[in-house]
């Protein structure tokens, strides 16, 4: 029986992919560094201990949340293990094609290049940025939303849609061998999110947004990554849409604006009544 292994399955995307595969009756297991929740232990920082024996399809969820050299070393270790242990196909969750301007694009593009010269066949899922993330990057100032996105739009996509697309590909990887899919949605703006919530939106500069991030207690590499999202959206580099996601899903993508609005509302101040200020 074909076995699918999903990496990072204790994270939000990996967990959603594993759930989608299980719902389809696919023989899938999850993995994590700690083995939490009954997952298979797979520590990318321990190349000597990596084993993928018995895995036919590896669904490699990007091991981000680190500097480029660390992410690249992790991806090299797991791809090398896949080659050594006879994995047939690797599905990789990468970054949307228009994302080259983002500060975290390099490790994704390196991994795509590495897969193209690997012995397993491969499929690259170039995921757009999450609608959930977009909404969360609209902080509140009192009863007002603030945004450094200006009038720029993001072709946002929901995490659940990306998980479903990944499961569809992993279930029959031979159909998608050698393919790259650009998985983006309908462009949405911060002004549309505010309108959906009935909130007043205050536009701020990139410099003002940087001050907010500098005081947010983030990891050292995170402010630059987040600032690159703000400037790329504001200047029109992440708005292009495409048909790949709808074609894989066999339906129109979910309403990214509604999901972004819900994410923004989750951090609204107590007493926000949706009537603006």
Q: How many domains does the chain have?
A: 1
Assigned domain for 165 exists = yes
CATH at 76: 3.40.50.720
Q: Is 208 part of a structural domain of the chain?
A: no
Residue 116 in domain = yes
Is position 273 within any domain? no
Of the pLDDT bands very low, low, confident and very high (cuts 50, 70, 90), residue 184 is very high
Residue 218 belongs to a domain: no
Give the 3-state secondary structure of the chain. Answer: CCCEEECCCCCHHHHHHHHHHHHCCCCEEEEECCCHHHCEECCCCCHHHCCCCCCCEEEEECCCCCCHHHHHHHHHHHHHHHHHCCCCEEEEEEECHHHHHCCCHHHHHHHHHHHHCCCCEEEEEEECCEHHHHHHCCCEECCEEEECCCCCEEECECHHHHHHHHHHHHHCHHHHCCEEEEECCCEEEHHHHHHHHCCEEEECCHHHHHHHHHCCCCCCCHHHHHHHHHHHHHCCCCCCCCCHHHHHHCCCCCCHHHHHHHHHHCCCCCCCCCCCC
Give the predicted TM-score (pTM) of the model.
Answer: 0.96
More confident residue, 255 or 39: 255
pLDDT for residue 39: 86
Q: Which residues form the domain of 19?
A: 4-127+159-184+241-249
In a domain, 88, yes or no: yes
Q: Looking at the predicted structure, is the pLDDT value of residue 125 above 80?
A: yes
pLDDT 10s digits, 236-270: 999 999 999 999 999 999 999 999 999 999 999 98
Least confident of 27-36, 82-91, 129-138, 197-206: 27-36
- Residue 68 inside a domain? The answer is yes
At 215, the pLDDT band (50, 70, 90 cuts) reads confident
């Amino acid at each position: 029986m074909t076995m699918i292994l999903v990496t990072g399955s204790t994270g939000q995307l990996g967990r959603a992919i594993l759930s989608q595969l299980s719902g389809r009756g696919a023989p899938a297991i999850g993995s994590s560094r700690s083995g939490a929740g009954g997952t298979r232990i797979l520590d990318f920082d321990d190349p000597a201990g990596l084993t993928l024996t018995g895995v036919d399809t590896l669904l490699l969820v990007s091991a981000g949340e680190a500097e480029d050299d660390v992410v690249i070393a992790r991806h090299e270790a797991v791809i090398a293990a896949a080659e050594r242990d006879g994995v047939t196909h690797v599905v990789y969750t990468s970054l949307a094609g228009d994302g080259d301007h983002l500060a975290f694009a390099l490790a994704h593009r390196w991994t795509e290049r590495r897969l193209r010269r690997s012995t397993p066949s491969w499929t690259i899922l170039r995921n757009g940025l999450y609608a959930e993330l977009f909404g969360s990057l609209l902080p509140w100032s009192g009863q007002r939303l603030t945004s450094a996105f200006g009038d720029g739009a993001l072709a946002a996509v929901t995490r659940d849609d990306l998980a479903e697309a990944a499961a569809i590909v992993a279930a029959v990887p031979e159909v998608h061998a050698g393919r790259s899919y650009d998985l983006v949605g309908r462009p949405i703006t911060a002004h549309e999110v505010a309108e959906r919530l009935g909130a007043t939106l205050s536009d701020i500069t990139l410099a003002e947004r940087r001050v907010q991030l500098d005081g947010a207690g983030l990891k050292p590499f995170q402010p630059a990554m987040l600032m690159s999202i703000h400037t790329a959206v504001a200047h029109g580099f992440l708005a292009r849409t495409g048909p790949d996601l709808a074609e894989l899903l066999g339906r129109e993508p979910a309403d990214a604006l509604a999901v972004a609005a819900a994410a923004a509302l989750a951090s609204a101040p107590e007493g926000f009544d949706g009537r603006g200020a």
